[in-house]
C-alpha cells in the first residue's frame, strides 16, 4: 500500500492527533479572541488613535513576548522526547530549566524595555495622542511579563507530556479573565486604554499560577528523581540553550517582520495602522487555530523520535498535514465571504473599516500560504532541530525586506504583497530542509538533554 494512503487510513493516528489538536485549537483561538476584544472594546471608543494606541503598544509587548517563544517551543521538544523515553527525572529538570529561564529573561527585558521605549516609538512617527497612549499601555503590560513567560514554559512542558487539556485550562483562564476584566475596566469603570492593559496583567498572573498547579498530574504519571546538581553544569544546559538560541533568533526575526508591518502602517496614517491591526487579527485567528495541529505534530513527532518510531513519525506528520490543509481552505472561504462582517464586528469607526475592506483579499490568501510554515515548524520543534527553523526564517527575511522596500511606492498594497511573499518563502524553505533531512534519514539521530 502507498505510504501516504496507509498513514491517512490509520484511525489511531487521527485520534491521537485530534486528542492533542482539539484542546490546543480551542485554547489557541482564545488568544486572538482577547485581541479581538481589545479591538472591539477600544474600537468602539470615539477616536481612531485610541485603537491605534492599543495596536502599537500591543505590538511592542508582543515583540518582547514573541521573541521568547522558544521558552515554549524548546521546552516542548525536549519534554516530548523525555516522555518518549519515560524519563521522569529529565522531565523535572526540563521544567525547572524552563521556569528559571523565564523568570531571568523577564527581569532582564523588563529592565531594558522602559528606557528603549522612546526609540521604538520614534520609529512609528505616530501622532502625539497615539504616542502617549501607546506608551502608557505598554508600560502597564510589562508588569505581566514574568507571568507570561512562565506560562510559555509551563504550556510547552505540559504539551510535551501529551497533556493538551492543561494548556487549554491555562489559556482559557487567562483569556476569559482578561475579557471579563477588560469589559469591567474599560466600559464599566471608564479606564480606557489603561484599563485594557491592567486587565491583561491580572489575567496573565492568573494563568501562570494555575499552570504551576496543573503540573502535578504529569509529575505523578512520570515518576523519577532528577539530578539537581546537573543544573550547575553547562553540559546540562547546553542542548536546551542551543536550541533556544536558534529559536530566539528565528522568533526575533519573525516578530521584527510584524513590528515593521506596524511601523510602516503607522507611517501611512492612524486609520491605516488601525485597519491593518484588524486584518492581522484575522491572521492571528488562523495561525493560532492551525497551530493547534502544529502543536500535535510537536508532541507526537517528538514522542516518536524519543521512542525511535519511524512509522509513528510519518503517520503523525501526514495526518496533521491533511487536516491542516482542510482547515486552511475553510478559513480562506470564511474571509473571502464574510470578511466585511469580520471587520465590522471589530470597529464601528467608518474610516478604519473602509480602509480595512480594501485589503481583505490579502487576508483571504494568508491561511493557505501560511499553513505550511506552521505545520513544519511543529515538526522541527518536536525534533529539536531549531537550526533549520532559524536559517529558513533568516533567508525569508533577507529576500522579503528588500522586496518590501521596492514595493513601498504601492503604499499599503506593497506592504501586504511583501508580507505574503515572506510567508510563502518561510514554508518553501522549511519544506526544502525537511526534504533534505528525510532523504538523509536524519530525523531520529538527535541529541537530548
**pLDDT (0 to 100) of residue 448:** 44
Answer yes or no: is pLDDT of 98 > 60.
Answer: yes
**pLDDT (0 to 100) of residue 445:** 61
**pLDDT (0 to 100) of residue 429:** 95
Contact in structure between 370 and 287 (CB atoms under 8 Å):
yes
Q: What's the predicted TM-score (pTM) here? A: 0.70
For residues 56 and 153, which has the higher predicted lDDT (pLDDT)? 153
Angle at 40 between CA 282 and CA 373, to 5 degrees: 15
Grade residue 31 by pLDDT with cuts at 50, 70 and 90: low
Q: Which of 226, 241, 261, 272 is nearest to 422 (CA)?
A: 261
Contact in structure between 119 and 180 (CB atoms under 8 Å):
no
What separation in angstroms does the CA of 65 have from each of 211, 251, 332, 377?
Answer: 18, 10, 28, 18
Give the list of residues 6+ apart from residue 221 with CB closer than 8 angstroms, or none: 161
Answer yes or no: is pLDDT of 392 > 90.
Answer: yes
Alpha carbons 75 and 68: distance in angstroms, whole number: 12
Alpha carbons 115 and 117: distance in angstroms, whole number: 6
Alpha carbons 394 and 384: distance in angstroms, whole number: 18
All three cell numbers of 174? 487567562
Grade residue 16 by pLDDT with cuts at 50, 70 and 90: confident
Grade residue 126 by pLDDT with cuts at 50, 70 and 90: low
- What are the residue ranges spanned by the domains of the chain? 3-439
Chain centroid to CA 432: 23
**pLDDT (0 to 100) of residue 50:** 66
In sign, the C-alpha dihedral spanning 364, 369, 373, 379 is positive
State in Å, rounded, how far the first CA of the chain is from the last one. 37
What mean pLDDT comes out for the span 422-435? 93
Give pLDDT tens digits for 199-216. 888 998 999 999 999 998
**pLDDT (0 to 100) of residue 290:** 87
Answer yes or no: is pLDDT of 30 > 70.
Answer: no
Answer yes or no: is pLDDT of 35 > 80.
Answer: no
DSSP label at residue 234:
H
Alpha carbons 298 and 83: distance in angstroms, whole number: 13
Which residue carries 487536516 as its cell? 323
Grade residue 124 by pLDDT with cuts at 50, 70 and 90: low
Grade residue 46 by pLDDT with cuts at 50, 70 and 90: low
Alpha carbons 240 and 71: distance in angstroms, whole number: 10
What mean pLDDT comes out for the span 192-205? 86
Give pLDDT tens digits for 305-331. 877 778 888 888 888 888 999 999 999
Buried b (16+ CB within 10 A) or exposed e, 217-234: ebeeebeeebeeeeeeee
Alpha carbons 93 and 254: distance in angstroms, whole number: 29
**pLDDT (0 to 100) of residue 68:** 76
Answer yes or no: is pLDDT of 190 > 80.
Answer: no
Percent with pLDDT over 70 in the chain: 88
DSSP label at residue 185:
I
All three cell numbers of 7? 498513514
What mean pLDDT comes out for the span 71-75? 78
**pLDDT (0 to 100) of residue 366:** 92
**pLDDT (0 to 100) of residue 70:** 76
**pLDDT (0 to 100) of residue 423:** 93
Half-sphere exposure of 298 (CA within 13 A, CB side): 33
Half-sphere exposure of 25 (CA within 13 A, CB side): 16
**pLDDT (0 to 100) of residue 449:** 46
Going through 293-445 in order, the beta strands assigned E by DSSP cover none
Amino acid at each position: 500500500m502507498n505510504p501516504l494512503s496507509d498513514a491517512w487510513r490509520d484511525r489511531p493516528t487521527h485520534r491521537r492527533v485530534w486528542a492533542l489538536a482539539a484542546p490546543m485549537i480551542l485554547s489557541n483561538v482564545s488568544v486572538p479572541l482577547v485581541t479581538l476584544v481589545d479591538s472591539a472594546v477600544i474600537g468602539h471608543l470615539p477616536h481612531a488613535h485610541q485603537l491605534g494606541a492599543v495596536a502599537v503598544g500591543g505590538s511592542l509587548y508582543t515583540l518582547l513576548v514573541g521573541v521568547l517563544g522558544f521558552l515554549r517551543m524548546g521546552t516542548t521538544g525536549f519534554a516530548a522526547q523525555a516522555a518518549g523515553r519515560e524519563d521522569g527525572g529529565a522531565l523535572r529538570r526540563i521544567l525547572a530549566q524552563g521556569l528559571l529561564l523565564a523568570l531571568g529573561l523577564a527581569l532582564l527585558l523588563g529592565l531594558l524595555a522602559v528606557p528603549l521605549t522612546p526609540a521604538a516609538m520614534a520609529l512609528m512617527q505616530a501622532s502625539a495622542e497615539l504616542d502617549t497612549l501607546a506608551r502608557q499601555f505598554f508600560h502597564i503590560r510589562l508588569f505581566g511579563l514574568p507571568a507570561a513567560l512562565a506560562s510559555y514554559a509551563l504550556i510547552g512542558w505540559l504539551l510535551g507530556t501529551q497533556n493538551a487539556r492543561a494548556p487549554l485550562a491555562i489559556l482559557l483562564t487567562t483569556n476569559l479573565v482578561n475579557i471579563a476584566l477588560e469589559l469591567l475596566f474599560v466600559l464599566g469603570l471608564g479606564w480606557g486604554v489603561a484599563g485594557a492593559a491592567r486587565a491583561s496583567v491580572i489575567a496573565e498572573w492568573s494563568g501562570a499560577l494555575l499552570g504551576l498547579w496543573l503540573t502535578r498530574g504529569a509529575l505523578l504519571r512520570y515518576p523519577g528523581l532528577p539530578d539537581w546538581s546537573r543544573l550547575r553544569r553547562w553540559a546540562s544546559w547546553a542542548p536546551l540553550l542551543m536550541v533556544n538560541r536558534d529559536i530566539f533568533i528565528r522568533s526575533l526575526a519573525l516578530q521584527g517582520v510584524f513590528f515593521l508591518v506596524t511601523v510602516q502602517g503607522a507611517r501611512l496614517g492612524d486609520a491605516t495602522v488601525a485597519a491593518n491591526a484588524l486584518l492581522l487579527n484575522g491572521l492571528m485567528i488562523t495561525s493560532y487555530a492551525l497551530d493547534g495541529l502544529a502543536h500535535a505534530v510537536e508532541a507526537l513527532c517528538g514522542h516518536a523520535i524519543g521512542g525511535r518510531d519511524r512509522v509513528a513519525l510519518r503517520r503523525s506528520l501526514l495526518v496533521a498535514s491533511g487536516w491542516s490543509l482542510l482547515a486552511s481552505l475553510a478559513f480562506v472561504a470564511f474571509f473571502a465571504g464574510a470578511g466585511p462582517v469580520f471587520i465590522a464586528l471589530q470597529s464601528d469607526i467608518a474610516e478604519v473599516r473602509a480602509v480595512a475592506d480594501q485589503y481583505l483579499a490579502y487576508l483571504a490568501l494568508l491561511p493557505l500560504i501560511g499553513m505550511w510554515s506552521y505545520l513544519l515548524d511543529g515538526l522541527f520543534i518536536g525534533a529539536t532541530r531549531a537550526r533549520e527553523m532559524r536559517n529558513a526564517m533568516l533567508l525569508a527575511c533577507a529576500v522579503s525586506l528588500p522586496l518590501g522596500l521596492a514595493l513601498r511606492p504601492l503604499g499599503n498594497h506593497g506592504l501586504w504583497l511583501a508580507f505574503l511573499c515572506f510567508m510563502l518563502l518561510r514554508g518553501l524553505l522549511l519544506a526544502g530542509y525537511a526534504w533534505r533531512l528525510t532523504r538523509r534519514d536524519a530525523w531520529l539521530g538527535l541529541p537530548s538533554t
